[in-house]
């Protein structure tokens, strides 16, 4: 019988400060980045008695300490400005804070900085659980963060939650830390942020970056970055082999803990995806991660098919908690 538990960090209530971010994909009105996403994931995790839920409690001061190690000050000030400059509306304009070769695509909205900081707080709180000795922690943060770079937003990401978790683990003395990104989309923000941190191993499985966001060629910055792109919809077997490859490389790098950027947009019918994997693949992904025996800090990225998110999270939890062996 397993004594594993999954510590789930919940994002603080925003008291109406934040408006939803409208995400439309080629005219498709589905796929909005809304609070309901987190509610669906919570519902799935609640089916697992090993999940302990707690609201993220991290001081504002500590969040700033972490964010200042990740993002440029003038970029943080830009977000802070638009946080209060918009009332009940979203605004998209040609701001300069974009990744090279990418156009501004992500609207700003009232409370954008407040909401993004709550996302970062949630990720930092989950990393602190790992630092305190938990084997499994899961940050249910939003908006996602892996497209946010040193001084840019994009792909509905503003602050990089996963890298905030990485830095928090490092601050607690865990070394080296790895980051595996299994979102459908390539985490261009995470890759750029970790390019200047060669002590952090980074692996990613994603849809071709030519066919999907960020719609440009990408290259690993060093031997400590491993990218596995698919230009077709991978079979379950192909996908799981890729996960195994990444874990193997992370272990040979010597990673003492792993942050996982979790995207449920790899499954069939996700409004922002394009692959045909079933939600049940997440049980197998969870099993492979669990077999690595590394402490895992899961950080929520994408996943927009509201009717499937609870099942994805439940299946992932089953695999992570070792239900196949019970
Ligand atoms: Zn995604």
Q: Who's near 248: CB < 8 A, 6+ residues apart? A: none
Q: Where are the beta strands (DSSP E) in the chain?
A: 6-10, 51-55, 90-91, 108-109, 136-140, 177-181, 201-207, 225-230, 257-262, 296-300
* pLDDT the model gives residue 24: 52
| Dihedral sign, Cα of residue 128, residue 75, residue 112, residue 27 | negative
Angle CA(56)–CA(60)–CA(64) in degrees, nearest 5?
Answer: 115
d(CA 53, CA 77): 32
**pLDDT score, position 215:** 95
Q: How far is the CA of 108 from the centre of ligand 1 (A)?
A: 19
Q: What is the pLDDT of residue 15?
A: 55
CA of 261 to the centre of ligand 1 (A): 10
| Interval between CA 302 and ligand 1 midpoint (Å) | 4
pLDDT at 26: 55
Pull the structure tokens for residue 219.
């290259």
Is residue 31 a contact partner of residue 272, using CB atoms and an 8 Å limit?
Answer: yes
3-state SS class at 283:
helix
Cα of 266 from ligand 1 centre, angstroms: 8
Instruction: Give the pLDDT of residue 87.
Output: 83
185: left (phi over 0), alpha (psi -120 to 50) or beta: beta
C-alpha distances out from residue 79 to 53, 120, 122, 151, 281, Å: 30, 14, 19, 10, 37
Q: What is the predicted pLDDT for the residue at 22?
A: 61
Residues with CB under 5 A from ligand 1 (ion): 183-185, 263, 265, 302
Residue 156 backbone zone (phi > 0: left; psi -120 to 50: alpha; other: beta):
left
Q: Please give the pLDDT value at position 13.
A: 72
Output the CA 207–ligand 1 centroid distance in Å: 9
Q: How far apart are CA 42 and CA 49, in angstroms?
A: 12
Q: Compute, in angstroms, the gap from residue 303 CA to the centroid of ligand 1.
A: 6
A 10 A CB-CB count for 285 gives: 26
Give residue 75 CA to ligand 1 midpoint distance, Å: 23
Rounded to the nearest 5°, which phi and psi values hold at 42? Answer: -60, -45
Which parts of the chain have pLDDT scores under 50? 1
**Amino acid 34: pLDDT:** 83
Distance 46 CA to ligand 1 centre (A): 24
Between the CA of 68 and the centroid of ligand 1 the distance, in Å, is 25
How many angstroms does the Cα of residue 187 sit away from the middle of ligand 1? 8
Where b means 16+ CB within 10 Å and e means fewer, 289-300 reads: bbebebbbbbbb
Distance 3 CA to ligand 1 centre (A): 32
233 Cα: distance to centroid of ligand 1 (angstroms)? 15
From the CA of 181, how far away is ligand 1's center (Å)? 10
Q: What is the CATH number of domain 6-325?
A: 3.40.800.20
pLDDT digits (tens, 9 = 90+) for 171-193: 999 999 999 999 999 999 999 99
pLDDT digits (tens, 9 = 90+) for 117-129: 999 999 999 999 9
Q: What whole-number distance in Å separates Cα of residue 308 and Cα of residue 251?
A: 31
Give distance in angstroms: CA of 326 to centre of ligand 1.
Answer: 32
What is the Cα Rg of the chain in Å?
Answer: 18
Distance 156 CA to ligand 1 centre (A): 9
Cα(2) to ligand 1 centroid in Å equals 32
Q: Can you give the pLDDT at residue 3?
A: 73
Q: How far is residue 33's CA from residue 11's CA, in Å, rounded to a whole number?
A: 15
Cα angle, residue 278 at apex, residues 276 and 283 outer, rounded to 5°: 140
């Amino acid at each position: 019988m397993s004594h594993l538990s999954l510590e789930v960090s919940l994002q603080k209530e925003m008291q109406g400060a934040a408006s939803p971010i409208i995400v439309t994909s080629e005219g498709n009105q589905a796929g909005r980045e809304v609070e309901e996403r987190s509610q669906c994931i919570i519902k799935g995790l609640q089916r697992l008695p090993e999940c302990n839920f707690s609201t993220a409690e991290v001081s504002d001061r500590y969040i700033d300490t972490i964010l200042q190690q990740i993002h440029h000050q003038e970029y943080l000030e830009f977000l802070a400005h638009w946080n209060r400059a918009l009332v009940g509306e979203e605004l998209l304009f040609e701001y300069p804070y974009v990744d090279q070769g990418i156009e501004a695509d992500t609207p700003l909205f009232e409370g954008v900085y407040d909401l993004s900081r709550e996302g970062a707080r949630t990720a930092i709180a989950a990393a602190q659980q790992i630092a305190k000795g938990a084997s499994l922690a899961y940050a249910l943060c939003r908006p996602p963060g892996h497209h946010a770079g040193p001084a840019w937003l994009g792909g509905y990401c503003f602050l990089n939650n996963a890298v905030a978790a990485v830095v928090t683990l490092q601050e607690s003395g865990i070394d080296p830390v790895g980051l595996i990104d299994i979102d459908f989309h390539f985490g261009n923000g995470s890759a750029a942020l970790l390019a200047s941190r060669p002590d952090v191993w980074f692996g990613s499985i994603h849809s071709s970056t030519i066919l999907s966001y960020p719609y440009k060629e990408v290259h690993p910055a060093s031997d400590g970055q491993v990218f596995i792109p698919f230009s077709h919809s991978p079979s379950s077997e192909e996908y799981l082999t890729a996960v195994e490859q990444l874990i193997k490389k992370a272990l040979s790098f010597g990673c003492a803990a792993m942050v996982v950027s979790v995207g449920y947009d790899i499954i069939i019918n996700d409004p922002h995806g394009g692959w045909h994997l079933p939600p049940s693949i997440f049980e197998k992904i969870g099993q492979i991660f669990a077999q690595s025996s590394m402490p895992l800090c899961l950080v929520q990225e994408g996943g927009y098919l509201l009717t499937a998110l609870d099942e994805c999270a439940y299946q992932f939890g089953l695999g992570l908690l070792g239900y196949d062996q019970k």
